[in-house]
């Protein structure tokens, strides 16, 4: 059985041609799935009944199921999606007045192992397919009945280590005949693999690139982001500059503030010197405490002074609002609470 969300529109046309069907049937199927959110072929009422049955025997639209749900008082919804092999990943919807953002996972677990993140505690079990990445949009849409306007690939996993599936999923979500989300509203977040950033810059996709920097010098970054041991900040900045030169899109630098670790005035000054060399925005993120992880959030005064120091140096800095604090907000927490780990 093939996963419909894993195949391209032209492959769907071929699949239907093998059933003796004209090409326009593919358009009808995609409209049902993407525009109307109908994932059961039996409900696709403008298709002949025998075709609906034949499609159901060959293709499946949803391969996972929401196994747990956590709702925060501010409207953030977090789902644990269990896949057909029993592995599970988290996906999050963050609603706001004029936008609704889906935060999607790209791997089961994460091989990067950031010292402050629950998703990396158990390593990685496998990559998600493009269809599994996309399917999270459908589970979120049914769980929260909101139209998704923005997507961030910032959940579990490192998108650039699952490059082909990530790019295929992004192409589907920005395709007007499928997801129809503006590419400018799609963000790929990476800890930074210079060669893959350069490759992404050469795709015809005007997406936003976010680099998870988290430290303003190589020594501290190697402690906080183990996978960065082999990648210097210099190499990362060069790749980010290349991305801007190719795509004309400002890069976002993500920086999780950890109390007493990377929130000092000296760190702010070092970060400012790096960021001023790029066309970029800086996103500061207040650390969300994670059981079993030895870090604390920054003090409010340290956070404010860090932010002001960057702003005084002319940087475009945002403090990302802390959302979903009562919904196991930190990446990987819901999965651990539900006893899912990649070593099971
Ligand atoms: S913060 Fe992101 S890259 Fe780091 S371990 Fe967690 S999921 Fe992986």
Residue 277 confidence (pLDDT) above 60: yes
The reply to whether ligand 1 has any atom less than 6 angstroms from the CB of 117 is yes
Average pLDDT over residues 148-161: 95
For the CA of 111, the closest atom of ligand 1 is: 8
* Distance, CA of 131 to CA of 134 (rounded, Å): 5
Task: Provide DSSP, 4-39.
Answer: GGGS-HHHHHHHHHTTT--THHHHHHHIIIIIT---
Q: Is the ipTM of this complex over 0.90?
A: yes
Cβ atoms of 81 and 89 within 8 Å: the answer is yes
What is the distance between the terminal CA atoms of the chain, rounded to a whole angstrom?
Answer: 26
CA of 254 from ligand 1 middle (Å) equals 12
Least confident of 97-101, 216-220, 226-230, 238-242: 226-230
Give the span between the Cα atoms of 284 and 320, in whole angstroms: 6
Percent of the chain whose pLDDT exceeds 90: 85
pLDDT surpassing 70 at residue 343: no
Residue 337 has pLDDT above 70, yes or no: no
pLDDT given for residue 228 in this prediction:
80
The catalytic residues are 90, 331
Candidate of 120, 127, 189, 190 to mutate for ligand 1, largest count of ligand atoms within 8 Å of Cβ: 120
pLDDT for the residue numbered 336: 60
Question: Residue 102 pLDDT more than 70?
Answer: yes
Q: What are the tens digits of pLDDT across the range 69-81?
A: 999 999 999 999 9
* pLDDT for the residue 252: 97
Domains of the chain are 2-60 (1.10.150.530), 65-337 (3.20.20.70)
Q: Is the pLDDT confidence value at 165 over 90?
A: yes
Q: What is the pLDDT of residues 283-307, one digit of tens each?
A: 999 998 888 888 999 999 999 999 9
């Amino acid at each position: 059985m093939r996963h419909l969300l894993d195949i391209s529109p032209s492959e769907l046309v071929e699949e239907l041609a093998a059933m003796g069907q004209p090409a326009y049937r593919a358009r009808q199927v995609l409209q049902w799935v993407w525009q109307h959110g109908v994932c059961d072929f039996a409900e696709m009422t403008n298709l002949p009944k025998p075709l609906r049955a034949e499609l159901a025997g060959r293709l499946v639209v949803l391969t996972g199921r929401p196994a747990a749900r956590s709702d925060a008082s501010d409207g953030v919804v977090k789902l644990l999606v269990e896949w057909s092999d029993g592995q599970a990943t988290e996906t999050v919807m963050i609603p706001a007045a004029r936008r609704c953002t889906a935060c999607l996972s790209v791997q089961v677990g994460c091989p990067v192992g950031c010292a402050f993140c629950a998703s990396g505690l158990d390593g990685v079990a496998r990559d998600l397919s493009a269809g599994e990445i996309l399917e999270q949009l459908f589970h979120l849409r049914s769980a929260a009945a909101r139209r998704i306007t923005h997507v961030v690939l910032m959940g579990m996993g490192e998108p650039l280590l699952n490059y082909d599936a990530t790019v295929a999923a992004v192409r589907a979500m920005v395709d007007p005949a499928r997801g129809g989300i503006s590419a400018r509203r799609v963000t790929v977040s990476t800890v930074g693999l210079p060669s893959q950033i350069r490759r992404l810059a050469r795709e015809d996709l005007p997406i936003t690139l976010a680099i998870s920097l988290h430290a303003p010098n190589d020594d501290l970054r190697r402690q906080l982001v183990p996978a960065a041991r082999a990648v210097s900040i210099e190499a990362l900045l060069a790749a980010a500059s290349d991305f801007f030169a190719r795509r004309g899109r400002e890069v976002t630098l993500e920086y999780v503030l950890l109390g007493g670790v990377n929130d000092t005035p000296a760190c702010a000054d070092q970060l400012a010197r790096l960021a001023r060399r790029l066309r970029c925005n800086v996103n500061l993120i207040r650390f969300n405490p994670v059981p079993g992880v030895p870090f604390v959030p920054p003090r409010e005064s340290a956070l404010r002074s860090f932010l002001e120091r960057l702003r005084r140096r002319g940087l475009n800095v945002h403090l990302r609002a802390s959302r979903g604090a009562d919904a196991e907000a930190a990446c990987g927490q819901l999965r651990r609470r539900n006893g899912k780990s990649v070593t099971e």
